Amino acid sequence: MKLTILGCHSATPRDNARPTAQILEMKGHLFLIDCGEGTQMALRKNRVKFARIKHIFISHLHGDHVYGLIGLISTFCLLSRDADLTIYGPKGIKELILIQLKLAGVYTSFSLRFRESEINTPQILLEDDSLQVTTIPLEHRIFTHGFLFQEKPGDRHLDIVACQEYEIEKAYYRKIKQGHDYVKENGEVIPNTELTTDGDQPKSYAFCSDTVYKEDIVPQITDVTALYHESTFLKSHEHLCEKTKHSTAEQAAKIAKKATVGTLILGHYSSRYGDYELFRKEAQEVFEKTELAMDGKVFEF
């Protein structure tokens, strides 16, 4: 699982402080999460292959999370893309994109699908053999959800030496890796646990931005490998959180601690602060395993 931060700053974009956008690589997929203005430039800078992005997840319709989307889609059109594209986001996102394509007289050369949300409980957006993506209901000034990306348990690891000792033919390996016992010709059953060891631990990633401190997301994101939680403010500006529906670094850390996540990644910093280390310090007083998102930074799990 690999997470590339394309932008992690709040509100007004600047050349050295891009708005929210991330690329999550999971089980062969390349997911784009949020798409603030300039995301297509950041994708080029980080050498992400446009055609590999087939699913785009938009948390909410504030500009710093979505105003790069129409430009990216237009570029896909110019490049004569043919891969399908599905966009997941709040109700209204389809209208927002289609009106602009219509006014520009642009027709997509590829299949463009929308899946709009307007429900405040977790919804499964995408599921295949290897993973599942679910919305995380958040609370912001407009309808907003985060996303929970979960790998499914993979195959068990084959104990080749044990299989050879039992003289099992290779044709059975696939079933054994899937967890089945082996039945010898004489009827004797070799339990799967003698032939395999546990497979890789499924990884998971929770993206929670933008949101006010919202404790009831904890059960859904408990034990995720990594949690990105917005931290627009430091504790010194906590009084702004209720009106703006944002969180502090300390609040993000409290969520991370309650959910016993593997790593907390902070981001969506207000431009009023010059020193990002202050966010890390504040969070680490509550939750040690805290990292700072930075434009262009890559996290591998």
119 scored as a contact of a second copy (CB under 8 A): no
Q: What is the DSSP letter of 80?
A: T
Residue whose C-alpha is closest to residue 262's, from 289, 281, 300: 289
Q: Are 134 and 152 in contact (CB under 8 A)?
A: no
Question: Shortest gap between Cβ of 250 and a second copy (angstroms)?
Answer: 24
Q: What angle do CA 222, 156, 184 make, to 5 degrees?
A: 145
**Residues 6+ positions from 45 with CB-CB distance below 8 Å:** 296
Least separation in angstroms between CB 154 and a second copy = 38
Residue 156, by phi and psi: left (phi above 0), alpha (psi -120 to 50) or beta? Answer: beta
Among 57, 67, 147, 276, binds a second copy (CB under 8 A): 67
Q: Which among 32-40, 182-190, 226-234, 272-280 is the span making contact with a second copy, rule CB under 8 A?
A: 32-40
Measured from the CB atom, is 13 or 137 closer to a second copy?
A: 13
Per CB under 8 A, 107 contacts a second copy: no
**Residue 18 CB, nearest approach to a second copy (Å):** 9
Q: How far is the CB of 106 from a second copy (least distance, A)?
A: 8
Q: In this complex, which beta carbon is closest to a second copy, that of residue 50 or of residue 173? A: 50
* DSSP string across 208-260: E-S----GGGHHHHTT-SEEEEE--B-GGGGGGHHHHT--BHHHHHHHHHHTT
Q: Least distance to a second copy from the beta carbon of 30, Å? A: 19
Minimum distance from CB of 61 to a second copy (Å)?
A: 4
Sign of CA dihedral 40, 44, 46, 52: positive
- Of 64, 181, 200, 275, the active-site residue reads 64
Contact between residue 5 and residue 293 where contact means Cβ atoms under 8 Å apart: yes
Distances from the Cα of 212 to the Cα of 85, 140, 166, 221, angstroms:
31, 6, 58, 16
The answer to whether 64 is a known catalytic residue is yes
Q: Stretches 35-43, 115-123, 228-236, 284-292: which one binds a second copy (CB under 8 A)?
A: 35-43
Q: How far apart are CA 274 and CA 271, in angstroms?
A: 7
Amino acid at 245: K
- The answer to whether residues 266 and 249 touch, using CB atoms and an 8 Å cutoff, is yes
Give yes or no for residue 104 binding a second copy (CB under 8 A).
yes
Choose which of 5, 7, 22, 38 interacts with a second copy (CB under 8 A).
38
223 annotated as a binding-site residue: no
Determine the angle formed by the axes of helices 277-284 and 249-258, rounding to 10 degrees. Answer: 40
233 binds a second copy (CB under 8 A): no
Residue among 40 and 134 whose Cβ is closer to a second copy: 40
The Cα-based distances of 173 to 154, 163, 181, 230, 273 in angstroms read: 14, 8, 11, 45, 56
| 142 belongs to the binding site for a second copy (CB under 8 A) | yes
Residue 145 marked ligand-binding: no
> In this chain, which of 34, 37, 210, 230 binds a second copy, going by CB under 8 A?
37
- In the complex with a second copy, which residue's Cβ is closer, 140 or 156? 140
Footprint on this chain of a second copy (rule: CB under 8 A): 11-15, 37-38, 40-41, 44-45, 61-64, 67-68, 70-71, 74-75, 78-79, 92-93, 95-96, 99-100, 103-106, 141-142
- Which residues fall in the annotated binding site for Zn(2+)? 60, 62, 64-65, 140, 210, 268
